[in-house]
Amino acid sequence: MGAGLPDSPRLTRPTPAPAPGIVHLGPGAFFRAFNAVYTDEAIAAAGGDWGIIAVSLRSPTARDQLAPQGGAYTSVTLSETGMEPQVIGAIREVLVAPEDPGAVLAAMSDPAIRIVSLTITEKGYCHAPSSGALLPDHPDIQHDLAAPDAPRSAIGFIVSALARRRAAGHAPFTVLSCDNLPGNGALARGVISDFARRRDPDLANWIAETVRFPATMVDRITPATTPERVAALAEITGYHDPACVFHEDFRQWVIEDDFTAGRPRWDLAGAQFVANVDAHETMKLRCLNGTHSALAYLGYLAGHDTISAAVADPVMARFVRHLWEAEILPTVPRPEGEDLPAYCASLMARYRDPSIRHLTWQIAMDGSQKLPQRLLGTIRDRRAVGQTPEGLCLAVAAWMRYVGGRDETGAEIDVRDPLAEALRAASEGATSPEETVDALLGFEAIFGTDLPADAGFRSALTLQYERLLSLGASGAVAVLLGQ
């Protein structure tokens, strides 16, 4: 039976599955800790046919975990006092796209489906992170243009389903991106419209006229589920649930209120509907995700396996406060109703919670896709006013050392990134710190053309990279802080 009590029964659905209204692409841990929880609570509060058909675009794991349980699973809030489980029943079915793409397209083409939502991570958009533009040579994009009835990418599935709905005379669905990307609604619109235009200009025009792409800001720290926690949950509940997810108590969902055919009453579960998400999104991406990535690379190199361990180091905690106060907040417009210094103080409290165990290695994944919106946008804004954000340059330099594949002791780093092999080859081919920085700045999809041409940025980045090599992560941070 796997992790859990040896003789504990499997969790079973306690209530009938709700009728479908949403297809969700990417049923990973964050979706189960966030979107599905909000939807379950919204249905409980206001009713409505908003059951979720979840679609895995790659692995059958989510289906294999959820199907024997009728789609039900346990959402577990972690705190220093223990675990608080909540059974979630919003998911009615899980499909595995590679096994039956036709079933996925049939579900998305059903007029009962009014929203298609996404948590596919940055790399799922098949775009250039530096510009947001669709990568027309991406293998999945090439495949989906050639085989529209058996797509592989989220973009291909969405466009093919919209084409079928248009041909049948059905209304379109709303495309709701819930990924940590700046302007995620506009980004989704851009890559989907570009793909549709390459397939059928008339379809692209129909999408432009009828489909809505609201932007969102999502926030809930969701560490990886471990066998030990699955077993601990079984001890508490008396049932075995391999689909369970663990998360902090805090959550925030800010949504642009622009939907084609209605939406669940997520507001009754605490979501905020606004006219414009941009300021909230910038606040979260730069203040939370930016410092998370900085701590991930510097913390990992310094030997800290979790975020809470990293900020328990007084030097690292002071470094994060320096980033917020001196480098990040000057670039962040204040969202309506938010106190930015108080928001950052609440982030530090969340980071310090040892019950979360958010791994630095987990946050460090896919850095080539994350850096542009988490760190480089802030650097660009500071350079535009003549400032050099040394702390953010140190964070980028730490990423450069991390993707070289060796930590400060010489041990191998398991780098998980779509560009991992190319980044490591570029690092290994360099014979000096300057050459390493130049080689990695040459990845235009990450850095664009402006930052590599910025002599001040290049010089600051090289200095921080040299300090990392000579002093280590902790030493480089201490020097930056004047310690």
* Whole-number Å distance between alpha carbons of 138 and 136: 6
Q: Among residues 96, 184, 196, 104, which one has the least CA distance to residue 141?
A: 196
What average pLDDT does the segment 349-368 reach? 96
Contacts of 119 (CB under 8 A, 6+ apart): 24, 25, 26, 28, 30, 31, 34, 35, 178, 179
Tens digit of each residue's pLDDT (9 = 90 or more) over 73-113: 999 999 888 999 999 999 999 999 999 999 999 999 999 99
What average pLDDT does the segment 155-180 reach? 98
When the pLDDT of each residue in the chain is averaged and rounded to a whole number, the result is 96
Tens digit of each residue's pLDDT (9 = 90 or more) over 9-28: 999 999 999 999 999 999 99
Q: Which pLDDT score is estimated for 23?
A: 99
What average pLDDT does the segment 177-205 reach? 97
What average pLDDT does the segment 271-300 reach? 97
Structure confidence at residue 478 as a pLDDT band (50, 70, 90): very high
* Whole-number Å distance between alpha carbons of 196 and 209: 13
Q: Which pLDDT score is estimated for 6?
A: 52
What average pLDDT does the segment 252-273 reach? 97
What average pLDDT does the segment 323-335 reach? 97
Percent of the chain with pLDDT over 90: 97
Is residue 2's pLDDT more than 50? no
What average pLDDT does the segment 309-318 reach? 98
Q: Find out whether 160 and 195 touch, Cβ atoms under 8 Å.
A: no
Q: Which pLDDT score is estimated for 4?
A: 47
Residue 342 identity (one-letter amino acid): A
Buried b (16+ CB within 10 A) or exposed e, 90-125: bbbbbbbbeeebeebbebbbbeebbbbbbbbbbbbb
Structure confidence at residue 483 as a pLDDT band (50, 70, 90): confident
Is residue 202's pLDDT more than 50? yes
Percent of the chain with pLDDT over 70: 99
Q: Which pLDDT score is estimated for 399?
A: 98
Q: Among residues 187, 460, 443, 473, which one has the least CA distance to residue 303?
A: 473
Radius of gyration for the alpha carbons in the chain, expressed in angstroms and rounded:
22
Structure confidence at residue 48 as a pLDDT band (50, 70, 90): very high
pTM of this prediction?
A: 0.93
Q: Which pLDDT score is estimated for 372?
A: 96
